[in-house]
Amino acid sequence: AQTVTQSQPEMSVQEAETVTLSCTYDTSESNYYLFWYKQPPSRQMILVIRQEAYKQQNATENRFSVNFQKAAKSFSLKISDSQLGDTAMYFCAFMRSSGTYKYIFGTGTRLKVLA
Amino acid sequence: DAGITQSPRYKITETGRQVTLMCHQTWSHSYMFWYRQDLGHGLRLIYYSAAADITDKGEVPDGYVVSRSKTENFPLTLESATRSQTSVYFCASSEGDRLNTEAFFGQGTRLTVV
């Protein structure tokens, strides 16, 4: 069974600074998808970024980028130029690329951006 | 309105009562999911469905029942609510294929069992 681990329950960062959120996972699959979802205080879940395991290039979306280390089974999220609106809970998630397409989530990291 | 909607947004019920949480999506997505969110546990999968009339257990299915007679609806029933089922429940849907991997979530239902 796949598992996703987020070892940082809470983090804080100064506005305009850079912060990295960690995620590790365990799987025996060779191809799969990884995601970072953001949950602001409104509770709405929003996709931040996704990565397909067979693609070696790290995904980027504006100020958000990932460091995907397949051998280490690590998938960290870097937020550059942090903004107050980035304050949220961030969840890392795993999905297989074949069979049943269900999402396995980590326990989340609560990020607070300080003014 | 297009999207995925949950109802109710908030619910208080008594121990032992049956309660049903509704989920409706307008995209005709194949996959639908129910998660519960609890502090320290993140999002845990309760049940999921790959298509109408096909459902399967997730990580924490005990005490819950689902059905999916129509593609767009995926209700979750707590047959006899317990205090441990106090949680925020999220419904989600996805295309269920390798080209469209994003899961879309409803706004959540905060359920309190007293």
pLDDT tens across B33-88, in order? 999 999 889 999 999 999 999 999 999 999 999 999 999 999 999 999 999 999 99
**Which strand ranges, in their side-by-side order, compose the sheet holding B76-78?**
B4-7, B19-25, B76-78, B64-66
- Which single residue is written with the structure tokens 């070696």? A56
Between the alpha carbon of residue B92 and those of residues A66, B29, B62, the distances in Å are 24, 10, 19
Q: Give the best residue of A24, A49, A61, A102 to mutate against chain B (max B CB count within 10 A).
A: A102
Q: What is the pLDDT of residue B40?
A: 87
B90: pLDDT strictly greater than 90: yes
Could you tell me what percent of chain B has a pLDDT over 90?
89
Other beta carbons less than 10 A from residue A29's beta carbon? 13
Query: Helix or strand or coil: residue B56?
Result: strand
* Distance, CA of A5 to CA of A105 (rounded, Å): 8
Contacts of A109 in chain B (CB under 8 A): none
**Are B87 and B111 within 8 A, CB to CB?**
yes
Which of A44, A101, A102 minimises the CB distance to B45?
A102
Mutate which of A44, A47, A103 to disrupt the B interface (most B C-beta within 10 Å)? A103
Task: List chain A pLDDT tens, one digit each, 115 residues.
Answer: 789 999 999 999 999 999 999 999 999 988 899 999 999 999 999 999 999 998 889 999 999 999 999 999 999 999 999 999 999 999 999 998 877 888 999 999 999 999 9
Contact B48 A6 (CB under 8 A): no
pLDDT confidence tier of residue B1, bands split at 50, 70 and 90: low
pLDDT at residue number A97? 81
Report the alpha-carbon distance of residue B43 to residue B57 in Å, rounded: 15
- Quote the CA–CA distance of A20 and A58 in Å, as a whole number: 14
